[in-house]
Amino acid sequence: MEDNRVVLSARLVELDALRYTPGGVPIVKFRVSHQSLQQESGTPRKVDCELAAVAFETEAKLVAAAPLGAQMSITGFLDRKGRSSRQVVLHATRIRFE
């Protein structure tokens, strides 16, 4: 199995309503904003980005109850937004609010 693991500190900036799949699984789509200072080739680099994310089950309920602006730590993996899309979405498998 190839590695595909993301750990990100971010702020909740957009939150869709909690909904359920046809099989009854809770799901929520959301967006997060990340800002940090990283080292690249020995030079500091300011990072400022937004990322689409999705959560299922317990993590979906946790995010759905959070207020916009909440700081969070997200662990998950990246995948395409849809079968024919080139856009990336973060699938959150573990969320902690700070």
Say how far residue 56 (Cα) sits from the centre of its chain: 11
* Counted domains in the chain: 1
Q: Residue 1 falls within a domain, yes or no?
A: no
Q: Is the pLDDT of residue 76 over 80?
A: yes
Kindly report, residue by residue over 5-61, the tens digit of the pLDDT.
999 999 999 999 999 999 999 999 999 999 999 999 999 999 999 999 999 999 999
Residue 27 domain flag: yes
Q: Convert the pLDDT of each residue in 77-90 to its tens digit.
A: 999 987 887 899 99
Note the pTM of the prediction, 2 decimals. 0.91
Asked if residue 11 belongs to a domain, the reply is: yes
- Give me the CATH number covering residue 11: 2.40.50.140
Task: Supply the range of the domain harboring residue 68.
Answer: 6-97
Say if residue 31 is exposed, middle or buried (CB neighbours under 10 Å; 0-12, 13-18, 19+): middle
71 within some domain = yes
